[in-house]
Amino acid sequence: MSVVPADVLPGGVPAVGAAEPETAELGPRARLWPSLAAVYRAQLSRARVARIPLLFVATFQSVGIMILMRGVVDGGGEARAVVAGSAVLVVAFVALNLLAQYFGQLRAGGGLDHYATLPVPPAAVVLGAAGAYASFTVPGTVVTAVFGCALFGLPLAHLWVLIAVIPLAGAALAGLGAALGLLAPRPELATLLGQLGMSAALLLGVLPPERMPEAVRLARDLLPSTYGVEAFARTFAPHPDWALVLGDLAVCGVVGVLSLAVATWAYRRAAVR
Amino acid sequence: MNTRAAQGFRHGGDVVCVVRGLTKTYPAVRGRRGVPATPEVRATDDVELDIRRGEIFGLLGPNGAGKSTLVRQLTGLMRPDRGSVRILGHDIVRHPERASRILAYLGQESTALDDLTVSLAAETTGRLRGLDARRARGERDDVLDELGLAPLAGRPLRKLSGGQRRLACFAAALVGRRPLLVLDEPTTGMDPVARRAVWSAVDRRRAEHGATVLLVTHNVIEAETVLDRVAVLDRGRVIACDTPSGLKEQVAGEVRVDLVWREAAPLHVPEVAALRDRVVESGRRWTLRLAPEEARTVVATVTGGAAFAALDDFTLATPSLEDVYLALGGAVRQGLVKA
Q: Nearest Cα to B301, choosing from B275, B262, B264, B263?
A: B275
Does B174 have pLDDT greater than 90? Answer: yes
pLDDT band per the 50, 70, 90 thresholds, residue B256: confident
What would the DSSP string read from start to end of B195-243? HHHHHHHHHHHHHHH--EEEEEE-BHHHHHHH-SEEEEEETTEEEEEE-
Q: Which are the contacts of B184, defined by CB distance < 8 A and separation ≥ 6? A: B67, B68, B71, B105, B106, B107, B108, B216
CB neighbours of residue B194 within 10 Å: 21
Mean pLDDT of B188-213: 93
Does A103 fall in a domain? yes
| Least confident segment among A154-168, B23-37, B134-148, B174-188 | B23-37
Q: What's the Cα-to-Cα distance from B61 to each of B69, B256, B326, B327, rounded to whole Å?
A: 12, 20, 11, 13
Chain A contact set for B156 (CB, 8 A): 49
| Least confident segment among A49-53, A108-112, B98-102, B103-107 | A49-53
pLDDT at residue A50, rounded to an integer: 65
Low-confidence stretches of chain A (pLDDT < 70) are 1-22, 48-50, 273
Does A256 fall in a domain? yes
What would the DSSP string read from start to end of B152-172? GTTSBGGGS-HHHHHHHHHHH
pLDDT one-digit tens code per residue, B301-328? 888 878 888 888 888 888 788 878 777 7
- Is B117 or A2 the better-scoring residue by pLDDT? B117
Query: Which residue among A9, A30, A39 sits closest to B130, beta carbon to beta carbon?
Result: A30
Contact B242 A8 (CB under 8 A): yes
CA distance B238 to B58: 12
Task: State the nearest Cα–Cα gap between B118 and chain A, in angstroms.
Answer: 11
pLDDT at residue A205, rounded to an integer: 83
- Is A71 or B3 the better-scoring residue by pLDDT? A71
CB neighbours of residue B55 within 10 Å: 24
CA distance B150 to B169: 14
What would the DSSP string read from start to end of B253-308? T-EEEEEEESSS--TTSHHHHHHGGGPEEETTEEEEEE-HHHHHHHHHHHTSTHHH
pLDDT at residue A11, rounded to an integer: 37
This prediction has a pTM of: 0.83
Does B192 have pLDDT greater than 70? Answer: yes
pLDDT band per the 50, 70, 90 thresholds, residue B336: low
Does B297 have pLDDT greater than 90? Answer: no
Residue range B3-247 in CATH 3.40.50.150: no
Does A46 fall in a domain? yes
CB neighbours of residue A107 within 10 Å: 25
Those of residues 103-142 in A touching chain B at CB distance below 8 A are 105-106, 109-120, 124
pLDDT at residue B30, rounded to an integer: 81
pLDDT band per the 50, 70, 90 thresholds, residue B16: very high
Q: Which are the contacts of A203, defined by CB distance < 8 A and separation ≥ 6? A: none
**3-class DSSP state for residue B323?**
helix
Contact A49 B156 (CB under 8 A): yes
Rama region for B232: left / alpha / beta (φ>0; ψ in -120 to 50; rest): beta
Mean pLDDT of chain B: 87
Does B162 have pLDDT greater than 80? Answer: yes
Does A260 fall in a domain? yes
| Per-residue b or e along A73-103, where b marks 16 or more CB atoms closer than 10 Å to that residue's CB | beeeebbbbbbbbbbbbbbbbbbbbbbbbbb
pLDDT at residue A160, rounded to an integer: 93
Those of residues 11-30 in A touching chain B at CB distance below 8 A are 14, 16-17, 19-24, 26-30
Does A18 fall in a domain? no
Q: Which residue of B has its CA nearest to A34?
A: B127
Task: State the nearest Cα–Cα gap between A127 and chain B, in angstroms.
Answer: 14
Contact A256, A175 (CB under 8 A): yes
| Least confident segment among A232-241, B46-55, B193-202, B301-310 | B301-310
Does A7 fall in a domain? no
Those of residues 35-64 in A touching chain B at CB distance below 8 A are 35, 38-39, 41-42, 45-46, 49-50
Q: Which are the contacts of A113, defined by CB distance < 8 A and separation ≥ 6? A: A271, B72, B77, B105, B107, B109, B112
Query: Would you mind telling me the total number of residues written for chain A in this entry?
Result: 273
Contact A26 B90 (CB under 8 A): yes
Does A266 fall in a domain? yes
Mean pLDDT of B111-124: 93
pLDDT at residue B338, rounded to an integer: 55
Hey, where are the domains in chain B? Answer: 3-247, 253-318
Range of the domain at A155: 31-271
pLDDT at residue B6, rounded to an integer: 41
The total domain count for chain A is: 1
pLDDT one-digit tens code per residue, B139-160? 999 999 999 999 999 999 999 9
